[in-house]
Amino acid sequence: MIQSIRERALNRELLTGTFINLGSPLTAEMAGAAGFDWLLVDIEHGSGDQEALGPQLQAIGGTPAAPVVRIANNDPPRFKRVLDLGASGIMVPYVSSVEEAEQAVASMRYPPRGIRGVAKLNRASGFGQDFDEYFNRSHELLTTVVQIETTDAVDRIDDIATIDGVDVLFIGPLDLSVNLGIPEQFDDPKFLEARDKVVKAAQNAGKAAGILLLNQAQVESTVEAGFTFIALGSDGGLVAAGMRNLAGAFDAYR
């Protein structure tokens, strides 16, 4: 069975994660052993594709972290391919309306609760051994994370938050700032107002508010603002920064 974090997310426990965008099982395993509650395997913008996803999920499966996968778009076939491989949840980009959020939830769930296709012989159900339990309980165990990245989403956030099965309202800060007309201006009053509106809607609906942070200096203010499903950085960002730091050791001698 999958490693579920849904109940903890809905209880608004502080759940910390990082993005895995290199497509590497090794960095996924390293991150899983580092102490994060969840990892976001990114097949929307990350280097890995569907073929690389299975080995990454297997690597994370040997660690305490729960794997959440960001798919490329809100397309029902993408959900079942990822879920059948054993993901603990899915992050859905660019959810801007109630209808889009409802479609995402339906794609996460088997009939009659949703539209997910049914198959027994997959990793999520222990290759059939745990199928009955997985079929009957997966709607309670899988975490649905919808990304709030547009002004339309912010305007409709109260309605999106109340949908049963939407568990985490997760701000994509770069996309949201661009769509607000203030690219990368994360301290701008417009961005802060949108951020706080998402947090309030999540709290009122009994859901979690999430966000991606780019540096450690943002952690304290983000927790104080009410976010509980927080990602910090990525494996790719960490490696790139580390390589620049190593190369910089020679700058004084050039």
Q: Helix crossing, 235-248 with 25-32: angle to 10°? A: 100
Asked if 45 is an active-site residue, the reply is yes
167's CB contacts (< 8 A; 6+ apart) are: 6, 9, 10, 89, 143, 144, 145, 207, 208
Name the fold adopted by 6-248: TIM Barrel (3.20.20)
Task: Judge contact between 207 and 10, C-beta under 8 A.
Answer: yes
**CA–CA separation, 254 vs 44, rounded Å?**
39
Taking only the tens place, the pLDDT of each residue in 6-21 is 999 999 999 999 999 9
Residue 234's pLDDT is: 98
Q: Check 45, 64, 111, 192 and give the catalytic one.
A: 45
Residue 117's pLDDT is: 97
Reply yes or no on whether the pLDDT at 1 is more than 80. no
- Average pLDDT in the 114-119 region? 97
Label residue 164 by pLDDT band (50, 70, 90). very high
92 to 76, 85, 135, 138, 160: CA distances (angstroms): 11, 17, 22, 18, 13
Q: Residue 175 carries which side chain, given as an amino acid letter?
A: D
How far, rounded to the nearest angstrom, does the alpha carbon of residue 253 sit from its chain's CA centroid? 43
- Average pLDDT in the 33-55 region? 96
- Average pLDDT in the 165-174 region? 98
240's CB contacts (< 8 A; 6+ apart) are: none
Which residue do the tokens 């309605």 mark?
A: 159
pTM: 0.96
Task: Judge contact between 18 and 234, C-beta under 8 A.
Answer: yes
**CA–CA separation, 254 vs 251, rounded Å?**
6
Reply yes or no on whether the pLDDT at 181 is more than 80. yes
Reply yes or no on whether the pLDDT at 227 is more than 80. yes
Label residue 235 by pLDDT band (50, 70, 90). very high
Domain residue ranges of the chain, discontinuous segments joined by +: 6-248
Label residue 166 by pLDDT band (50, 70, 90). very high
Taking only the tens place, the pLDDT of each residue in 64-115 is 999 999 999 999 999 999 999 999 999 999 999 999 999 999 999 999 999 9
Mapped onto helix, strand or coil, the DSSP state of residue 90 is strand
